[in-house]
Structure 1
């Protein structure tokens, strides 16, 4: 199977690195193209055998399955460039959350799917959110999920839940990292402890907490109850956190959805759609 990547920026290159590192794909199976050719050439140096194509049309036409890893407002021009070189047997996979399956199916003759990867996939962990167009057959779904299973846990979701699930699986590592950064900053300033020590401890804590939630079956509420002894230090700190965080996550969801809907409206206009969608 030949797999293409249109766009080798942050997420495109991450997927390529993860697929090769995990053994899901050999470099010889991969075709890439990028608006800045030097970035694609860097990948070919890192992964000898990988083919750098001269244009997006070449990447798409020479791939059985190809990922479109570009910014939302670049999609229309990319699709216009490649659509005449595609057949109904190929599979196009978007990794960009505001781009809708209906946008892709209206403009491309091939099968279409959408996945939302995460930076955690480079470690072989985290989830990949999966959505499938109407032309996707069961064997296509199995092919995509088998490929993703090398680097993640594939989770099929409703497209209407793209944004809220992405907040957790894709944006979540950045949100948690900000929390840890502020916590570590305060600890270093107040106690003089070495930052590297706390970075390492925080990382191990996140790994262990993740396993408790995914492998041991704890819910977040149960985990708090297990750790916090009534009247103890942890319980007192949880009261403080709860009082300050009350309402914050409603604002966070509003913020991410506002940006998503802004991009979605622009894409609807670009693809000629006028659609009223529920906010959540």
Structure 2
């Protein structure tokens, strides 16, 4: 039930949908006896759209998420295992076109291949079923299981978890499959913006991991200023909103150990 509600809720909390709804409401009111108020509402909606599309709001929302957990040092001890979270594969497009269609989070998979080469003794676990509410087309794990051997990873090293639909299920199922022994050091690979929520969830289920963030959208400095490419900014805002709302929702439902997990 939590999975279904979260997917439905995503539609209604997306800032672009809210701004467009405000504009639509304002325009509709313009054809009633509340036309004056409708013009004000429509203007507010347009202002919101301009803010979303042409300012650095998305960068500002993502910056604290992506910089919450630092990158590990190059000389860090070798891990006993590596957990990579799903979200890197478009399973529907992969099935339609063949091969492995990577999403913008595809660096999770390429990082897994690179870490596999760097740490040949480490266990490798990919956790990802299908996050689609409708039209599920196989699992990410199945596709990754076919892709990684082509990138030089031995198939026998792979532990594939193909039933999880969200990050909570990623953590629960990964723990059951990995069965980490006391004192073992496991890396958690996921997008930098997704790392705070992921770390909180893994701590909550009792799987101690070390953050290995990838797939950054922001640089080292706090980004401030106007932007010229609206689609990029809308995507950043969508990603950031998904994570901030997810942090609140997961905390309220007891699925993370803190509202904004820290190192």
TM-score (norm 1): 0.37
TM-score (norm 2): 0.39
Structure having greater relative contact order (Cα 8 Å, sep ≥ 6): 2
Q: By percentage of residues, which structure has more helix?
A: 1
